[in-house]
Amino acid sequence: GAGVSQSPRYKVAKRGQDVALRCDPISGHVSLFWYQQALGQGPEFLTYFQNEAQLDKSGLPSDRFFAERPEGSVSTLKIQRTQQEDSAVYLCASSLVLNSVYEQYFGPGTRLTVT
Element (H, E) at 52: none
Q: Least distance from C-beta 90 to another protein, angstroms?
A: 10
25 binds another protein (CB under 8 A): no
The smaller minimum CB distance to another protein, of residues 37 and 80, is found at 37
- Determine the Cα–Cα distance for residues 35 and 42; give it in Å rounded to an integer: 9
59 binds another protein (CB under 8 A): yes
The answer to whether residues 23 and 4 touch, using CB atoms and an 8 Å cutoff, is yes
For residue 49, which amino acid is it? F
Produce one character per residue of 4-43: b if its CB has 16 or more CB atoms within 10 Å, e if not. bebeeeebebeeeeebebebbbbeebbbbbbbbeeeeeeb
Residues 76-115 that bind another protein (CB under 8 A): 89, 91, 93, 98, 100-101, 103-104, 106-109, 111
The smaller minimum CB distance to another protein, of residues 14 and 53, is found at 53
Under DSSP, is residue 25 helix (H, G, I), strand (E, B) or coil?
coil
x-marked contacts with another protein along 33-52 as a string, rule CB under 8 A: x-x----xxxxxx--x----
Contact residues: another protein, CB under 8 A: 33, 35, 40-45, 48, 55-56, 59, 89, 91, 93, 98, 100-101, 103-104, 106-109, 111
